[in-house]
Structure 1
Amino acid sequence: MQVYAVGGAVRDRLLREQAGQPEAPHVGDRDWVVVGATAEQMGALGYVPVGRDFPVFLHPQTHEEYALARTERKSAPGYRGFVMHADPSVTLEQDLQRRDLTINAIAQAEDGRLIDPYGGQRDLQARVLRHVSDAFEEDPVRILRLARFLARWPDFSVAPETLALCRRMVQAGEVDALVPERVWQELSRGLMEPAPSRMFGLLRDCGALARLLPELDRLWGVPQPPQHHPEVDTGVHVMLVLDTAAALQAPLPVRWACLVHDLGKGTTPPQEWPRHIAHEARSVRLAAQVADRLRVPVDCRELAQLVAGEHGNIHRSGEFGAAALMRLLERCDALRRPERFEQALLACECDARGRTGLEDQPYPQRERLSAALRTVLAVDVKQAAADAVARGLQGPGIGNAVSQARAEALAAWLSER
């Protein structure tokens, strides 16, 4: 029985060594593969079986995952159609051959020796993402993982033969078999990487984006008014917005909102280009459809629809007086959900700065609207309601009096600016 560390922990340690970085404290779970053992032997040693479909066990002390070396054979479309084989005769090299990328197919023995039968260290040095074998095409999730790794490491590229393999997988319909939950899982992780636009670039290049997010894919080639969008192309603009969100370390709901805020421009009739009249309403509808299809979490869904519908008004809010500002705050439900409103403002800043040559432009609308909201929230609602009651008002009259007090505070704030 031999035990080897495999996967991301080995890969990331080698990356740190190449970069001359000190050994990092261990964070998260490591993956281990066990060669020459049976499930019965693992149980006798105190390992706890947890894999329903695969021979995976938890270490009795560390609770890290230990998997028996195994091979797999494709038995049906999609990523669930596999027949797995695991017994003591399966070698380490056979187990590594079924992994996705060469950089993830490096094992480390207990004495520190590296086992690298497929050139993973070479590809780490060359900054290349390359599939290990044709087994890659048996699991369409690997296209999403490949795209996510590309977003994680901006200096890596995809091997031409791996990109060609991804294209064949898409043409064969493998991507169509992916379940929504898994697509969202991988997309959401990729959105949080340093260069998320690279993930969508790879998906678009291999044809997967048109299958998974056709609403987004159709934005490329759609022009915008050059006086507002020097980059002109809507798809290019959305990717710039997304990378701006990453540079500002925005949370996931903001990054998702940035991704889908302009979907309506993809449905503008060509004869109306480069203007996109009423695209906001179409964007709201399309963002909702995408969220339904991918089962996007509620916080991401709601913020995306808010930004899609109101980003134009937020951009123009510097021209608004007290009444218009109050209506905007109310439409955004900012008084009840100020944290979400602040996220919407951040997404709008990313939209404004995600334009060629305008990356460093100030966005005063964000601070102005934040200050306006603080002004309104500072109104003493209890006192305003008590004053209304003292004047003999009841029911809706009290609510109107509170709204009037807030509007007056906002007008006073504006007069002092």
Structure 2
Amino acid sequence: MFRRRPHLPAFPPGGLLVGGAARDFMRGVTPKDFDWAVSDPRRAAELLAQQRHGSAFPLDLERNYWRVHVPGGEQHDFVPLPTNVTDDLLRRDFTVNALAIAEGGRVLDPVGGQADLKARRLRMVSSANMRADPLRAWRAARFNTTLGFTIEAETERVVREVAQELATQELSAQELSTQELSTQELSTGTLPMPAWERIRDELHALLRHPDAAHGIQRLEDLGLLALTLPELREGQGVQHGGFHHLDVYGHNLETLHQLLARTPDAPLPLRWAALLHDVGKPRTQALDPETGRRTFHGHDRVGSALTAGILERLKLSGADVRHAARLVGAHMVALPTSDKEARRFVHRRRDLLPDLLSLMLADREAARGPQSTPATRHAYAQGMERVLEALEERPAPPAPLLTGQEIMTLLNLSPGPEVGKAVRRLAEAVAMGDVTTPHEARIYLLKTHASEPPN
């Protein structure tokens, strides 16, 4: 059942509400992002910004595209009104996006988008449109998840066809590139592979949805995951037993699902870390010669490096790449068994908290193997509680008792790595409560420095 349509917003003079904004309005959802086709985009943008106390700026001056941000998180994009609106709608990706609404509520629907909306069906406008921009294959998987629409059979066939053709081209390009053929030779007669930034945006729209794990599986079902996250697929069929009941691939997806069930507002780097936390296992698996059991020693370190590479390929920001990779690298750290260990845990990983705890809990809850018992779950919960109590007790790091210059003078050090080691050593002692005054700090540094082995 669709909800009652919300009230139409105020229209710019002669404007049309188009695309996803028209689709959402017609299915009873007030959009946060409005797409307008108008005769004078700059004028319309500046007028809206003035009326709504927002800010207007050009997205593309050459094409006269403008955007307005207004208080409350609304975004309005303005593009030139096409000479032939119907022809423009016929170039869209899916019928539910090939809709436009005129002032007063009149709907332009040249390809039956309203019927598909009612049927909750995702149907392409044409095969040629899908092939003109292969990113639309990823968008089909995203809408399948985020809108809950069923992909129409012929549309799904074309999506799979596009994915297969792109995969074949990628393989051929890799083989041919070893023969040092030119870029022009490699790209002749091929579908254009979407830019990684555009694929990233589709993935992020998917990952923001509560059922993101199902969306990742849909990418796999449609043949798109191999083009997107081949490293994740390496875990298919890799069994690990013990605390686990799923293969590595399934466990990664289940961890993402558990994270979002418990932390629905999880930031994107944490979502990526949940999805990729065990991505290093396939490349580190080995059999213990004594027990015959499968091991994955170092998978956290390898997984951290793989995560960084994946997210750099997808053009995430440097800060997000580092945070996600560090979470993956730390997800196997042992939880504390005492209050003092809890204070050390918080001190050493404060900048990863509380995200690290959320990841570790999701990882643990995604495991239901034979070694997972009520007793082990209780012990894990106790360790989590100790960390949370230590973090609540000291939410910010304590102020340093000595400056770097004071430490250099005390220990007769020149600027360099040794000073940094001494600063970190003292900071941890303060966080543990072993040192509480500047006098104690000096005694502690002199003692520990004297006992350190020479370089």
TM-score calculated relative to the size of structure 2: 0.67
The residue type equivalent to 1:14 in the other structure is M
Q: Does 1:277 align with 2:297?
A: yes
- Find the counterpart in structure 1 of residue 35 from structure 2: 31
Per the TM alignment, residue 354 of structure 1 is displaced from its structure 2 partner at its CA by 2.9
Q: Does 1:403 align with 2:428?
A: yes
The residue type equivalent to 1:302 in the other structure is R
The answer to whether the 8 Å contact 2:122/2:149 transfers is yes
- Find the counterpart in structure 2 of residue 74 from structure 1: none
- Find the counterpart in structure 1 of residue 388 from structure 2: 370
The residue type equivalent to 1:296 in the other structure is L
Per the TM alignment, residue 276 of structure 1 is displaced from its structure 2 partner at its CA by 2.2
Per the TM alignment, residue 259 of structure 1 is displaced from its structure 2 partner at its CA by 1.6
- Of 190, 212, 228, 1:196 maps to 212
- Find the counterpart in structure 2 of residue 37 from structure 1: none
- Of 68, 72, 86, 2:81 maps to 68
Per the TM alignment, residue 312 of structure 1 is displaced from its structure 2 partner at its CA by 1.4
In 2, Cα distance between equivalents of 1:403 and 1:44: 57
In 2, Cα distance between equivalents of 1:375 and 1:366: 14
- Find the counterpart in structure 2 of residue 124 from structure 1: 117
Are residues 202 and 175 of structure 1, via their aligned partners in 2, closer, same or farther at CA, if it must alter by over 3 Å? farther
Are residues 380 and 255 of structure 1, via their aligned partners in 2, closer, same or farther at CA, if it must alter by over 3 Å? closer
Are residues 375 and 65 of structure 1, via their aligned partners in 2, closer, same or farther at CA, if it must alter by over 3 Å? same
- Find the counterpart in structure 1 of residue 185 from structure 2: none
- Find the counterpart in structure 2 of residue 159 from structure 1: 152
Per the TM alignment, residue 120 of structure 1 is displaced from its structure 2 partner at its CA by 1.6
- Of 276, 281, 294, 1:265 maps to 281
- Find the counterpart in structure 2 of residue 104 from structure 1: 97
TM-score calculated relative to the size of structure 1: 0.73
Are residues 7 and 365 of structure 1, via their aligned partners in 2, closer, same or farther at CA, if it must alter by over 3 Å? farther
In 1, Cα distance between equivalents of 2:79 and 2:424: 62
In 2, Cα distance between equivalents of 1:45 and 1:371: 56
In 2, Cα distance between equivalents of 1:317 and 1:118: 58
- Find the counterpart in structure 2 of residue 245 from structure 1: 259
The answer to whether the 8 Å contact 2:17/2:101 transfers is yes
Per the TM alignment, residue 165 of structure 1 is displaced from its structure 2 partner at its CA by 1.0
The residue type equivalent to 1:301 in the other structure is V
Are residues 409 and 97 of structure 1, via their aligned partners in 2, closer, same or farther at CA, if it must alter by over 3 Å? farther
For residues 97-142 of structure 1, the C-alpha deviation after alignment (integer angstroms, 9 at most, x for no partner) is: 1111111112222231222222222222222222111112211221
- Of 302, 316, 319, 2:322 maps to 302
In 1, Cα distance between equivalents of 2:234 and 2:396: 45
The residue type equivalent to 1:94 in the other structure is D
- Find the counterpart in structure 1 of residue 201 from structure 2: 185
In 1, Cα distance between equivalents of 2:346 and 2:45: 56
The answer to whether the 8 Å contact 1:261/1:283 transfers is yes
The answer to whether the 8 Å contact 1:256/1:300 transfers is no
- Find the counterpart in structure 1 of residue 366 from structure 2: 354
- Find the counterpart in structure 2 of residue 13 from structure 1: 25
The answer to whether the 8 Å contact 1:216/1:235 transfers is yes
Are residues 244 and 377 of structure 1, via their aligned partners in 2, closer, same or farther at CA, if it must alter by over 3 Å? closer
Per the TM alignment, residue 309 of structure 1 is displaced from its structure 2 partner at its CA by 1.6
- Find the counterpart in structure 2 of residue 229 from structure 1: 244
Per the TM alignment, residue 238 of structure 1 is displaced from its structure 2 partner at its CA by 1.5
In 1, Cα distance between equivalents of 2:429 and 2:66: 64
The answer to whether the 8 Å contact 2:338/2:386 transfers is no
Deviates more, 1:123-132 or 1:347-356: 347-356
Q: Does 1:138 align with 2:114?
A: no
| SS of residue in 1 equivalent to 2:251 | helix
Unaligned 5+ runs, structure 2 = 1-12, 47-57, 69-74, 167-189, 413-418, 436-455
Are residues 159 and 365 of structure 1, via their aligned partners in 2, closer, same or farther at CA, if it must alter by over 3 Å? farther
In 2, Cα distance between equivalents of 1:402 and 1:113: 67
In 2, Cα distance between equivalents of 1:325 and 1:283: 27
- Find the counterpart in structure 1 of residue 357 from structure 2: 345
Are residues 101 and 233 of structure 1, via their aligned partners in 2, closer, same or farther at CA, if it must alter by over 3 Å? same
Are residues 148 and 325 of structure 1, via their aligned partners in 2, closer, same or farther at CA, if it must alter by over 3 Å? same
Per the TM alignment, residue 403 of structure 1 is displaced from its structure 2 partner at its CA by 3.4
The answer to whether the 8 Å contact 1:245/1:347 transfers is yes
Unaligned 5+ runs, structure 1 = 17-22, 35-40, 70-87, 411-417
TM-align CA RMSD: 3.8
- Find the counterpart in structure 2 of residue 317 from structure 1: 335
- Find the counterpart in structure 1 of residue 307 from structure 2: 287
